Amino acid sequence: MKEHWFFLSNVFRLLANRSLKRFYKFCYQLMMHLKSNADDPFFMDKYNQLLPYYKAFDDAYKEKFGNASQRKGDTRQLNLLLKEMSGSKIHAWDIDIQTKFVSDTPEYTKIFPQGLSPLSLLPIEQRVQYLNTAIEIMSNYPQLSQVHAEMKSFYQALCLARNTQLQKDGNLIESRNEVMQHAYKLSTEIYGVLGEFMTKFKDHPLVIETYFPVNLIRDKRKSTKKPNDTTPE
């Protein structure tokens, strides 16, 4: 594979691909550094040039991680319901059912053909389906109407929590794609601004590092030198 000249690589785009969180911090610090020189036309021009791209990225980033926080709450709610079902609920239901049909009767076996363990041990979708099948069969037995209603109500709450979680999963994927699109646009603009900095400060390149937090660009996962390595860089 042909290698490109290092300076042709947009390091800001690479940073966004590697870590959106670090890219977000980098952009925030860059914008604050530029804004701190409001009296200098050069810096304010660069700030205003980047501002619409930065704002679009900032809004999308915050929206995405806001959804992620909400998803954690949805997952927690689903897990609480599943834990409740595998704990107190199934035993309470079982006691009520066995007041009419004990565990070795054909009626009980139709309701729970594999016993109660699938409600605790199967994957989520199969657990929900097993519960739904039991509820449908119980509708044929009027004497179980009370426990049937309780199980049906719990099943509906379980489905609602599960569907909400799945919907948020889909939204998160879409929102991440949107964040990356804004990150790429912003990284392209920053790459162009870097070129203007290099032109202006070609005789004093270290000035550039004052505005571009390079510590956030470096990939900390890569270490080409060992502690005792004396190979020149």
The number of beta carbons lying within 10 Å of the beta carbon of residue 182 is 19
Which residue did the predictor score with more confidence, 227 or 21? 21
For residue 72, the model assigns a pLDDT of: 58
Cβ pair 116, 95 in contact under 8 A: no
pLDDT digits (tens, 9 = 90+) for 59-87: 988 877 655 555 555 578 888 899 999 88
Q: Compute the distance between CA of residue 184 and CA of residue 201 in angstroms, rounded to an integer.
A: 25
Contact 186, 177 (CB under 8 A): no
Kindly give the interhelix angle for 11-18 and 145-200, rounded to the nearest 10 degrees.
Answer: 160
Q: What percentage of residues in the chain have a pLDDT greater than 70? A: 81
Average pLDDT (53-63) is 91
- pTM greater than the 0.75 cutoff: no
> Are 208 and 194 spatial neighbours (Cβ–Cβ below 8 Å)?
yes
| Per-residue confidence (pLDDT) for residue 233, from 0 to 100 | 35
pLDDT digits (tens, 9 = 90+) for 79-115: 889 999 988 899 999 999 999 999 999 999 999 999 9
Residue 40: strand, helix, or coil: coil
Q: Tell me which of 40-49, 94-103, 198-207, 209-218 is least confident.
A: 209-218
Q: Which residues of 110-148 are buried (b: 16+ CB within 10 A; e: fewer)?
A: ebbeeebebbeeeeeeebbebbeebbebbeebeebeebb
46: tokens are 């660069």
> Of 192, 195, 194, whose CA–CA distance to 211 is shortest?
194
Residues 6+ away with beta carbon under 8 Å from 7: none
Q: Report the percentage of the chain scoring pLDDT > 90.
A: 55
| pLDDT single digits (tens) 128-160 | 999 999 999 999 999 999 999 999 999 999 988
Tokens representing 100?
Answer: 């009419």
Phi and psi at residue 208, to the nearest 5°: -60, -40
Task: Report the distance separating Cα 115 and Cα 112, nearest Å.
Answer: 5
d(CA 206, CA 191): 17
